[in-house]
Structure 1
Amino acid sequence: MKASDLIISAASVEIFIFIAACSILCADLFLPKERRARLHWAAVAGLLIAAAATAGDFSSPPQSAMNGFFVASPFTALLKTTILLAAAGSLAFSRHYLQSTGMLRGEFHCLSLLAVLGMLVMVSAGHFLSLYMGLELMSLCLYALIAMRRNSVMASEAAIKYFVLGALASGLFLYGVSIIYGTTGQLYIRDVAEAIVSGHFASQMALTLGLVFMLAGLAFKLGAAPFHMWLPDVYQGAPAPVTLFIAAAPKVAAMAMLLRVLVESLGALSGDWRDMLIVLAVASLAVGNLTAIAQTNFKRMLAYSAIAHSGFMLLGVLAGGIGGVAAAMFYIIAYALMTVGGFGVLVLMSADGEEKSELADIKGLASRNGLAAGVLLLLMFSMAGIPPVVGFAAKLAVLEAAAHAGLIWLVVLAVLFSVVGAFYYLRVVKLMFFDKPEVDAATVSLTPAASVLLALIGVLVLFLGLFPGGLLALCEAAAWTSL
């Protein structure tokens, strides 16, 4: 096969997303404002088409292109499909909000698609430079998306905070990569692993130092404590559709990046990074669950919830082996589904452009829209890890993998913090079903498309909770062929 044919075959989805982003931006110049909704649905359709094409690659054998800078495998196919579906769901929930605030423009959809492109490159990177390029492409687009609502002071403040701290995290990661390169003389992810295993490196201390810097940058992108300081402010300050977008898809890309760097490339240094991950996991579970209790803003509560979920994801990475990696993959897929649904309800409540993100805004939601309240009930149960929904299956898989790895004390600690976390999730249920709505609370009306999407998410949350074996087997097969 020719090199050009191999590139097109391996990176066809990335090429398609790039062409779609450019096409939507150009088409926006010629379409009148009243027809811009067509571009919105074109972006959603493009993401769904790309997801279908990526899912079809799961049975294909692993391959690489561009001299190893880009790799494709069942591992990348599964996580990229998750990213594309999460991004499509995020956009589908956001149309009315974008239209009412004047954000329904080609720039928004172009930046969203380019951010997705960066995430896809991160997942399929076979070289540290291509990994960093994907990371920066995603980050730069997210900075602009957060500041898209120009008349919002909170959005501008959130964008500046994210930009400054994100640049710092990217610098830390890049500095770690430079130390690893100076020590091993390699930048290919697989070649770094081989150099460490074979002992072809200059200094063990330098390797550990590079690992520390890289892990700091990765922890920031994942939102793990104590590198979580950006998360609550950005979630609260960003427009609701942007919060939905950055809460779901980038998390999957960050987890893929973490697995590639720690397990695939620096697996021989697991004795060093396991201790660091234990500190990150415990800190995330404690900070996330304990701080979420005191929140009165729904966005901030879910932000601290995301920090706690990062702790559970890290437990899967700590467990190691195929079982641990598969459990971490299963958890991040379940988390993406729960996040799209949870923030999706919040976006639908704010469809008129006025942010309704306080917990008080959720009071009496069951009397205002039964479908939204019912799905949010399932999602809160799922995030709390209450059976029989998918969150319970995801937590059980991670805890089981950690227990098999001998991390019993961490398992006990995670269960205790889950009990603490159940309080603030069940508080949302209480507000929806047992409290009267505020005097000025408006009825939450859903379009047919939003109703179908919400119902589909609710069905998936229940189905994957009752029958998690298929998705777990898929995650195990992906882990076997790639890591």
Structure 2
Amino acid sequence: MIDKLSWITVYPEIVLLVMACIIALVDLMGTDARRTRTYILTLLTLAVVAYLSGSNAVAGQTVFGFGGMVVSDPMGNWLKCFATLALMVTLVYGRPYAADRDMLRGGEMFTLSMLALLGIFVMISGSNFLVIYLGLELLTLSSYALVALRRDNVLASEAAMKYFVLGALASGFLLYGLSMIYGATGTLDVNEVFKVIASRSVKHQVLVFGLVFVVAGLAFKVGAAPFHMWLPDVYHGAPTAITLMIGAAPELAAFAIIIRLLVEGLLPLAFDWQQMLIVLAVASLLVGNLAAIAQSNLKRMLAYSTIAQMGFMLLGLAAGVVNGNTLNAQFAYSASMFYIITYVLTTLASFGIILLLAREGFESEEITDLAGLNQRSPLYAAVMAIAMFSLAGIPPMVGFYAKLAVLQALIGTGQGLYIGLAVFAVLASLIGAFYYIRVVKVMYFDEPVTATTVSAPGDVRAVLSLNGALILVLGIVPGGLMTLCAKAIVATLAT
């Protein structure tokens, strides 16, 4: 019999699942082309789920349920809360765009996005290989359907096929690696895997063989080079509202499963997987920044930017264990957690502006489409400029502090290799600054190609303004969020 404590660990997930089913049924009775009732119900549900996750996080307790298969801890609960808020913002930004493109004929966009969020929750909560994999599959299958939501659009259908084929390959890599580790350790439980490996009763070569596939599968999911090939095509081909949906909240889940698998389960193999992460990080910084310079399409540029940003995040994760010593772990992992949260916040703002500028029959995807935006709308130009400066790591935006936190974690190791990586990361960021500042230059100094004024519904305008303000405010006073990340990571490492 399942005890009461087990149900407590998953009640945000239960609320999400039940409401997703109810909203799907309610939507069947709706005739409104803009799906107003479905939209409001979805946002109210997400607000409740975010509150539940945030309350659990503030409580600061770590609780295991269902025989240790599921864990509710501060890190997981904060990531769930932020992922839910990210989806809420995505739906606010994406609804006008989706309505103009006849993507709201049914309520699939809302139902599938809630199921994708449920997959994110399961991934974050999983303390068992099978649970993590089930969450991953729920997220990816919902994402494939979302990318293909515009059935009459050739680009979207092509993007969905590429995403499906390469996503299946990535899932196969991860599943094969996990099966190897299960075969070697005899358990699927993450904490038990840690104990078996720490006892040194298993052949190291077998574990490393499985580890290679696990890291490759995780690299596919975060879009790290050289496993990045799906990212630019999917970002470009998917409807922009869906691009934001797969480029924001799922990144938090990807960070969570890296922590669950590599840190909580495979920490005794840190020497091996940290070397792999370093190679992935260096490749991502090089490929992402150099390829982004050549892009004229804004969505493709942001896709390559994502690859570079993930490289930075992986550098933090690669600096946790130094010569078998874990003293630097809490600083390195909390810096990476801070980095991924602030990256998602900035991504929401940048794609929010792209969605805002898109009109019926016109996709605002080229960098030249932003020409003279400051003359047409100073507010939206300012929000986009803040987002670009943050991604480039220019103070006082939050992106600067996020990069600084990762660099401090690298330098704090006192090792020549990590100090060299910090220098390389700074040089790569200098290259990256070029293509971000180019967008700002186009907005402020180029002549507008159209005299169309930029208008937005009140909810979009309010959320976008708040989004831009948060990027600036968190850059000036980052201490609160940094402390939150540090406490969450310390609580996770303690278990």
TM-score range normalised by the length of the shorter chain: over 0.9
Residue 473 of structure 2 corresponds to 463
Query: Residues of 2 paired with 1:88 and 1:79: CA distance?
Result: 14
SS in 2 for 1:64: strand
Unmatched tracts of structure 1, length 5 or more: none
Aligned partner letter, 1:84? T
Query: Residues of 1 paired with 2:23 and 2:17: CA distance?
Result: 10
Correspondence for 2:446 among 435, 438, 442: 435
Query: Residues of 1 paired with 2:208 and 2:372: CA distance?
Result: 53
Q: Following TM superposition, by how much is the alpha carbon of 1:8 offset from its aligned partner in structure 2, in angstroms?
A: 2.7
Of the structure 1 ranges 348-357 and 172-181, higher mean CA displacement relative to structure 2 is found in: 348-357
SS in 2 for 1:437: coil
Residue 474 of structure 1 corresponds to 484
Query: Residues of 1 paired with 2:231 and 2:47: CA distance?
Result: 28
Residues 313 and 328 in structure 1, CA contact (< 8 A), matched pair in contact too: yes
Query: Residues of 2 paired with 1:159 and 1:466: CA distance?
Result: 40
**Identity within the alignment, %:** 50
Query: Residues of 2 paired with 1:82 and 1:299: CA distance?
Result: 23
Q: Following TM superposition, by how much is the alpha carbon of 1:41 offset from its aligned partner in structure 2, in angstroms?
A: 2.3
Query: Residues of 1 paired with 2:315 and 2:78: CA distance?
Result: 20
SS in 1 for 2:282: helix
Query: Residues of 2 paired with 1:41 and 1:293: CA distance?
Result: 40
SS in 1 for 2:28: coil
Aligned partner letter, 1:118? G
Residues 350 and 356 in structure 1, CA contact (< 8 A), matched pair in contact too: yes
Residues 116 and 142 in structure 2, CA contact (< 8 A), matched pair in contact too: yes
Residues 96 and 352 in structure 1, CA contact (< 8 A), matched pair in contact too: no
Query: Residues of 1 paired with 2:372 and 2:259: CA distance?
Result: 42
Residue 262 of structure 1 corresponds to 262
Residues 33 and 99 in structure 2, CA contact (< 8 A), matched pair in contact too: no
Does 2:480 match 1:453? Answer: no
Residue 150 of structure 1 corresponds to 151
Does 2:396 match 1:388? Answer: yes
Does 2:406 match 1:398? Answer: yes
Residues 144 and 160 in structure 2, CA contact (< 8 A), matched pair in contact too: yes
Query: Residues of 2 paired with 1:163 and 1:143: CA distance?
Result: 6
Deviations along 1:260-283, one digit per CA (max 9) or x if unpaired, are: 111111110011111111110000
Residue 311 of structure 2 corresponds to 311
Query: Residues of 1 paired with 2:26 and 2:484: CA distance?
Result: 39
Residue 39 of structure 2 corresponds to 40
Unmatched tracts of structure 2, length 5 or more: 321-328
Query: Residues of 2 paired with 1:257 and 1:442: CA distance?
Result: 45
Query: Residues of 1 paired with 2:438 and 2:34: CA distance?
Result: 41
Residue 182 of structure 1 corresponds to 183
Query: Residues of 1 paired with 2:375 and 2:36: CA distance?
Result: 30
Does 2:436 match 1:425? Answer: yes
SS in 2 for 1:71: strand
SS in 2 for 1:274: helix
Query: Residues of 2 paired with 1:303 and 1:66: CA distance?
Result: 38
Q: Following TM superposition, by how much is the alpha carbon of 1:7 offset from its aligned partner in structure 2, in angstroms?
A: 2.9
Aligned partner letter, 1:332? I
Residues 10 and 63 in structure 1, CA contact (< 8 A), matched pair in contact too: yes
SS in 1 for 2:454: coil
Q: Following TM superposition, by how much is the alpha carbon of 1:33 offset from its aligned partner in structure 2, in angstroms?
A: 2.6
Residues 98 and 353 in structure 1, CA contact (< 8 A), matched pair in contact too: no
Q: Judging changes above 3 Å, is the alpha-carbon distance between structure 1 residues 245 and 35 closer, same or farther for their aligned structure 2 residues?
A: closer
Of the structure 1 ranges 390-399 and 101-110, higher mean CA displacement relative to structure 2 is found in: 101-110
Deviations along 1:304-335, one digit per CA (max 9) or x if unpaired, are: 00000001000110111000010000000000
Residue 383 of structure 2 corresponds to 375
Query: Residues of 2 paired with 1:218 and 1:38: CA distance?
Result: 38
Aligned partner letter, 2:412? H
Q: Following TM superposition, by how much is the alpha carbon of 1:181 offset from its aligned partner in structure 2, in angstroms?
A: 0.5
Residues 281 and 314 in structure 1, CA contact (< 8 A), matched pair in contact too: yes
Query: Residues of 1 paired with 2:221 and 2:176: CA distance?
Result: 16
Deviations along 1:365-414, one digit per CA (max 9) or x if unpaired, are: 11222211111110100000000010001000011001112300000000
Matches within 5 A, 1:208-357: 208-320=208-320, 321-352=329-360, 354-357=362-365
Deviations along 1:229-252, one digit per CA (max 9) or x if unpaired, are: 000000000001000111101111
Does 2:421 match 1:410? Answer: yes
SS in 2 for 1:454: helix
Q: Following TM superposition, by how much is the alpha carbon of 1:35 offset from its aligned partner in structure 2, in angstroms?
A: 6.1
Residues 275 and 318 in structure 2, CA contact (< 8 A), matched pair in contact too: no
Deviations along 1:430-449, one digit per CA (max 9) or x if unpaired, are: 0111111114x632211111
SS in 2 for 1:31: coil
TM-score in terms of structure 2 length: 0.95
Residues 34 and 99 in structure 2, CA contact (< 8 A), matched pair in contact too: no
| Aligned alpha-carbon RMSD (Å) | 1.1
Residue 161 of structure 1 corresponds to 162
Residues 371 and 451 in structure 1, CA contact (< 8 A), matched pair in contact too: no
Deviations along 1:84-122, one digit per CA (max 9) or x if unpaired, are: 111111011011111111112311111000000000110
Residues 155 and 238 in structure 2, CA contact (< 8 A), matched pair in contact too: yes
Aligned partner letter, 2:492? S
Query: Residues of 2 paired with 1:449 and 1:33: CA distance?
Result: 19
Aligned partner letter, 1:447? P
Query: Residues of 2 paired with 1:469 and 1:286: CA distance?
Result: 30
Query: Residues of 1 paired with 2:373 and 2:297: CA distance?
Result: 16
Query: Residues of 2 paired with 1:442 and 1:70: CA distance?
Result: 52
Query: Residues of 1 paired with 2:129 and 2:489: CA distance?
Result: 20
Q: Following TM superposition, by how much is the alpha carbon of 1:23 offset from its aligned partner in structure 2, in angstroms?
A: 1.1
Residues 274 and 319 in structure 2, CA contact (< 8 A), matched pair in contact too: no
Aligned partner letter, 2:107? G
Deviations along 1:120-140, one digit per CA (max 9) or x if unpaired, are: 110110100000000000000
Aligned partner letter, 2:26? A
Query: Residues of 1 paired with 2:20 and 2:201: CA distance?
Result: 43
Query: Residues of 2 paired with 1:376 and 1:8: CA distance?
Result: 43
Aligned residue pairs: how many?
480
Q: Following TM superposition, by how much is the alpha carbon of 1:4 offset from its aligned partner in structure 2, in angstroms?
A: 4.5
Query: Residues of 1 paired with 2:379 and 2:361: CA distance?
Result: 21
Residues 37 and 95 in structure 1, CA contact (< 8 A), matched pair in contact too: no
Residues 97 and 353 in structure 1, CA contact (< 8 A), matched pair in contact too: no
